[in-house]
Amino acid sequence: MNIANKLTISRIVIAIFILILLLIPFNEMGINIPNFLAMGKIVVDVRYICAGILFFFASVTDYLDGYLARKENIVSDFGSCLDAIADKLLVNGLLVILAYHGFISLVIPVIIISRDIIVDALKTLSAKNGVVVKANIWGKIKTIFMMIGLTLTLFYNLPFEIWNLHLADLFITIATVLSVVSAGIYYIEIVKKAKK
């Protein structure tokens, strides 16, 4: 269990905590979670601020575990599998919750999750046939946009919401488009290598 895998496991734990924090109906259980008025017009649920802070740290571990694994030359199939689980749990789980609570359109998690299923199926099929294609740069850029967009969403798009700049929505929309683009590029690369 190296440091990179420990960071990945910590991201899984954080992801589970975030999902529980946002899913449990505390008010129905008689537990009052405080809200406050931001900038005199936006009602902010403290749970989302806490989730935003945790999500930010989880996003940092997403970068660090990959960086350390490559730097220390400790990249492994176990680590890669663990990393994929952590990413899907953190991002896809959060997207579903945000769509359910009306923060984002339901179309977003449908596209992202469908894309992940297709790409994972392509990876499995190509690996069985001895064709290995690494993740492309567009997938990495998509992840950056998604992490920024989700962090801003959890922070109620503040302070940009004050000036009516919907940056959170913009970043998540760009990430969704890039996820489809990266999947298309991934498919083309697989076909090219398979033909060779």
Q: Can you give the CATH number for the domain in which 99 is found?
A: 1.20.120.1760
| 92 pLDDT above the threshold of 90 | yes
pLDDT digits (tens, 9 = 90+) for 51-80: 999 999 999 988 888 778 778 787 777 777
Q: Which domain holds residue 121?
A: 3-195
Helices (H), 32-106: 46-71, 77-87, 93-100
Residue 130 or residue 150, greater confidence = 150
Long-range Cβ pairs for the range 94-100 (8 Å, 24+): 94/15, 94/18, 94/19, 94/22, 94/51, 94/55, 94/150, 95/150, 97/19, 97/22, 97/23, 98/150, 98/153
> Looking at the 3D structure of the chain, how many domains does it have?
1
Q: What is the pTM of this model?
A: 0.90
Confidence of residue 196 (pLDDT cuts 50, 70, 90): low
Res 155: pLDDT: 95
**Rounded CA separation 123/137 (Å):** 16
**42 in Cβ contact with 161 (< 8 Å):** yes
Write the CA distances from 107 to 7, 91, 104, integer angstroms: 31, 15, 8
